């Protein structure tokens, strides 16, 4: 059980670590609104990873097939959502005193739900989990729900550890940045998120 949990942690950490649109969003929110905003954004991504870990770990082939069958529509939603976030980020004016900004509970919930939804709109992630689980001999379907549960918990923990490290590390730099520096970071993040959104829409058109 412990071994399965550790393997799940490594899988969750490895899948979360590459910096893509979610990582970029987490960094931008941490710099703009504080460490808690970044951490709640990361928690949303970790929750989505746990959902896909459940599908792979418990052998829910029919649900995986349904997600992949709707991947074009989900990519459209995800791509458009990324473009919307890029527009919002570009328009955001950094506060003159960024360290004193305190996000509201509603804002933190929005941070969590938005990254949860954005991560879930990339169902191709399920292929990564299925491939890794199968390659390591951890794929579901054996009927051992305790082991599958340990794997899923490990995936969630490993993913969450990465997001906490990322938000915590970026948070240390937040107080050293001027509003002008934050503005340039916002604009660079907006351009990169626009690129990710356009790429998602283009991949949908090509598929």
Span 98-125, pLDDT tens digits: 444 455 677 889 999 999 998 888 776 7
For the segment 51-72, the average pLDDT, to the nearest whole number, is 79
Give the pLDDT of residue 96.
44
Q: Where are the domains of the chain?
A: 2-206
pLDDT digits (tens, 9 = 90+) for 188-207: 888 888 888 888 788 777 76
pLDDT digits (tens, 9 = 90+) for 7-35: 888 888 888 887 788 888 898 889 888 88
Question: What mean pLDDT is reported for the chain?
Answer: 80
The tokens for 186 are: 């916002």
Report whether 198 contacts 77 (CB < 8 A): no
The tokens for 151 are: 């794997």
Give the pLDDT of residue 112.
95
Give the pLDDT of residue 100.
47
Can you give the pTM of this predicted structure?
0.78
d(CA 84, CA 91): 11
Give the pLDDT of residue 98.
45
Residue-wise over 4-29: b if at least 16 C-beta within 10 A, else e?
bbebbbebbbebbeeeebbbbbbbbb
For the segment 138-149, the average pLDDT, to the nearest whole number, is 64
Report whether 17 contacts 159 (CB < 8 A): no
Rounded to the nearest angstrom, the gap between the alpha carbon of residue 181 and the centroid of all alpha carbons in its chain is 25
Give the pLDDT of residue 127.
74
Give the pLDDT of residue 164.
93
Q: Is the model's pLDDT at 174 over the cut of 50?
A: yes
Among the listed residues 43, 36, 40, the one whose alpha carbon sits nearest the alpha carbon of residue 99: 36
Q: Is the model's pLDDT at 60 over the cut of 90?
A: no
Q: Is the model's pLDDT at 139 over the cut of 70?
A: no
Give the pLDDT of residue 58.
80
Give the pLDDT of residue 99.
44
Task: Give the position of tokens 């959502």.
Answer: 81
Rounded to the nearest angstrom, the gap between the alpha carbon of residue 143 and the centroid of all alpha carbons in its chain is 29
Q: How many CB atoms lie within 10 A of CB 109?
A: 13
d(CA 82, CA 54): 25
The tokens for 96 are: 């003159």
Task: Give the helix, strand, coil percentages of the chain, each rounded to 5.
Answer: 80, 0, 20
Sign for the CA dihedral angle at 50, 166, 42, 66 comes to negative
């Amino acid at each position: 059980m412990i071994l399965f949990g550790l393997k799940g942690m490594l899988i969750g950490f490895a899948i979360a670590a590459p910096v893509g649109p979610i990582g970029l969003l987490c960094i931008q929110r941490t710099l703009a609104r504080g460490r808690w905003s970044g951490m709640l954004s990361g928690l949303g991504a970790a929750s989505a990873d746990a959902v896909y870990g459940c599908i792979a770990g418990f052998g829910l082939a029919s649900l995986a097939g349904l997600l992949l069958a709707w991947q074009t529509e989900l990519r459209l939603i995800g791509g458009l959502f990324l473009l919307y976030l890029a527009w919002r980020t570009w328009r955001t004016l950094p506060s003159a005193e960024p360290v004193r900004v305190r996000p509201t509970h509603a804002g933190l919930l929005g941070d969590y739900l938005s990254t949860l939804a954005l991560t879930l709109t990339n169902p191709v992630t399920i292929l990564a989990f299925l491939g890794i689980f199968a390659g390591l001999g951890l794929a579901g379907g054996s009927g051992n729900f305790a082991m599958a549960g340990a794997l899923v918990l490990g995936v969630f923990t490993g993913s969450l550890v990465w997001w906490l490290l990322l938000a915590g590390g970026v948070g240390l730099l937040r107080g050293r940045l001027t509003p002008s520096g934050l503005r340039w970071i916002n604009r660079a993040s907006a351009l990169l998120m626009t690129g990710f959104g356009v790429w998602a829409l283009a991949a949908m058109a090509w598929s």
